[in-house]
């Protein structure tokens, strides 16, 4: 864990560096106090520059103005360039790098150019004044350009960080919207299941009442069906309410190559309850679309509750849709339905060697998020990811409910 230490609301590291820079300016001023023109009075000018430089990050334009005024007083006094004038270069660099507007840096550069000429005129030497002006100008210009380059890189990094934060917020909003939409679809599908269960219970209850005196055994069987159907419907409702009460949605898969598309090949009506008996028709549609689908069933298929059967159907549909979108036309896909004593395992594996589609599949879908939501309703597990041999694998394990069993409808 990284701890950011601050002093006066600023990073401690930055404060320490600024103190070091100011100390260097003070050192140059004190060392030349005896020999330099102006003596200790000139040293006080250098100390004033050093104090101003302590605020070069938070108030770069003001610091540049103060340092420029002190340098101008030095020129007016006729002292000429001194060692602590390195503070002028630091102020120019700071205003170019930290100022909110580059205009301040340009103005500081123009002011420094004027100062270069004035300082060159006061240089004592045998050479022409313009030689000193060229030298001072090159040094000042190099410092200005370095500040501009660092400013550009700094603004570029800040823009990348802002863009990353924006994308993260958008991604979270899209994930929440996708989960909310999928929960709405789950609620609609489970509503169909519950409505069917209620209808069965009403029919069986009416039949039991009608047959109570004529055939007590038939009436008892009808009452048993009512009880089993009610328990199954209650379990469905508890699962639905449990999902809707969750405040944190399940985490979407983050493996590379996440195939999260959620568009079906043929739009089955959402309000129609689908069953596994329609699975061969679904596979034929995907074969017609270009997938080489092989289908295998192991174990003895038990009678599944309608909601669980619908979940298996939707998982197969979504996995095959993703295989068609991402593996491409002509890919080999193996679908396995494994029935055990306590669970149903759905495994969809593609080799990823199909022909790519003409238009690339859009990224940022929510197919795996939707499957994870559906599987989570039945306390199942979803594993999805790339295979070492190539392609993609989706494996879903759905535990069987304790009350799973065939519902027998007895007519009155």
Which residue has tokens 């199954």?
232
Average of per-residue pLDDT values in the chain: 76
Given a cut of 80, whether residue 366 has pLDDT beyond it is: no
The tens digit of pLDDT for each residue in 181-219 reads 777 766 666 655 565 566 667 766 877 787 788 888 878
Cα–Cα distance between 346 and 320 in angstroms, integer? 12
The tens digit of pLDDT for each residue in 15-59 reads 777 788 888 888 887 876 667 777 788 888 888 888 888 888 888
The tens digit of pLDDT for each residue in 57-91 reads 888 888 888 888 888 888 888 777 778 888 888 88
Strand partners, 395: 347, 383
What is the predicted pLDDT for the residue at 250?
A: 47
The tens digit of pLDDT for each residue in 99-143 reads 888 888 888 888 888 888 888 887 776 567 777 788 888 888 888
What is the predicted pLDDT for the residue at 135?
A: 84
Given a cut of 90, whether residue 338 has pLDDT beyond it is: yes
Percent of the chain with pLDDT over 70: 75
Given a cut of 70, whether residue 308 has pLDDT beyond it is: yes
The mean pLDDT value for 382-394 works out to 88
Contact 328, 355 (CB under 8 A): yes
How does residue 252 score in pLDDT terms, banded at 50, 70 and 90?
very low
Order of strands across the sheet with 332-339?
Answer: 292-298, 332-339, 343-350, 392-399, 381-386
Q: Which tokens go with 27?
A: 């050192």
What is the predicted pLDDT for the residue at 245?
A: 63
What is the predicted pLDDT for the residue at 388?
A: 86
Give the dihedral sign, CA 136/137/139/144.
Answer: positive
What is the predicted pLDDT for the residue at 203?
A: 66
Q: Which domains does the chain have, with CATH numbers?
A: 6-124 (no CATH), 174-245 (1.20.5.1930), 276-399 (3.30.565.10)
What is the predicted pLDDT for the residue at 289?
A: 65
Per-residue exposure over 3-23, b if at least 16 CB sit within 10 Å of its own CB, e if not: eeeeeeeeeeeebeebeebbe
């Amino acid at each position: 864990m990284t701890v950011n230490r601050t002093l006066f609301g600023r990073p401690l590291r930055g404060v320490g560096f600024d103190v070091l820079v100011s100390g260097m300016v003070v050192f140059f001023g004190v060392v030349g106090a005896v020999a330099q023109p102006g003596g200790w009075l000139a040293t006080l000018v250098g100390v004033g520059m050093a104090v101003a430089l302590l605020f070069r990050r938070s108030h770069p334009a003001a610091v540049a103005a103060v340092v420029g005024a002190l340098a101008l007083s030095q020129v007016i006094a006729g002292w000429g360039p001194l060692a602590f004038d390195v503070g002028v270069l630091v102020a120019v660099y700071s205003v170019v790098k930290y100022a909110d507007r580059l205009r301040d840096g340009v103005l500081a550069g123009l002011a420094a150019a004027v100062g270069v000429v004035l300082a060159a005129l006061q240089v004592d030497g045998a050479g022409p004044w313009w030689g000193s002006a060229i030298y001072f100008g090159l040094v000042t210009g190099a410092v200005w350009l370095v500040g501009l380059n660092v400013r550009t890189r700094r603004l570029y990094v800040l823009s990348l960080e802002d863009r990353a934060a924006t994308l993260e917020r958008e991604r979270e909003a899209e994930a929440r919207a996708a989960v909310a939409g999928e929960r709405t679809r789950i609620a609609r599908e489970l509503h169909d299941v519950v409505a069917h269960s209620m209808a069965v219970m009403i029919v069986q209850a009416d039949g039991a009442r009608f047959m109570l005196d004529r055939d007590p055994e038939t009436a008892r069987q009808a009452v048993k069906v009512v009880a089993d159907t009610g328990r199954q419907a209650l379990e469905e409702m508890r699962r639905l309410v449990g999902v809707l009460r969750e405040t944190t949605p399940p985490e979407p898969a983050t493996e590379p190559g996440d195939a999260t598309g959620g568009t079906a090949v043929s739009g089955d009506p959402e309000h129609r309850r689908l069953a596994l008996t329609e699975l061969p028709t679904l596979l034929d549609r995907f074969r017609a679309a270009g997938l080489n689908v092989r289908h295998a069933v192991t174990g003895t298929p038990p009678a599944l509750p309608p909601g669980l059967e619908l979940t298996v159907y939707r998982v197969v549909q979504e996995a095959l849709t993703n295989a068609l979108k991402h593996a491409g036309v002509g890919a080999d896909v193996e679908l396995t339905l494994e029935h055990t004593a306590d669970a149903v395992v759905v495994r969809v594996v593609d080799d990823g060697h199909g022909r790519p589609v003409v238009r690339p599949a859009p990224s940022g879908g929510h197919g795996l998020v939707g499957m994870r939501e559906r599987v989570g309703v039945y306390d199942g597990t979803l594993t999805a990811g790339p295979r070492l041999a190539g392609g993609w694998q989706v494996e879903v394990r759905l535990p069987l409910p304790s009350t799973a069993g065939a519902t027998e409808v007895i007519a009155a």
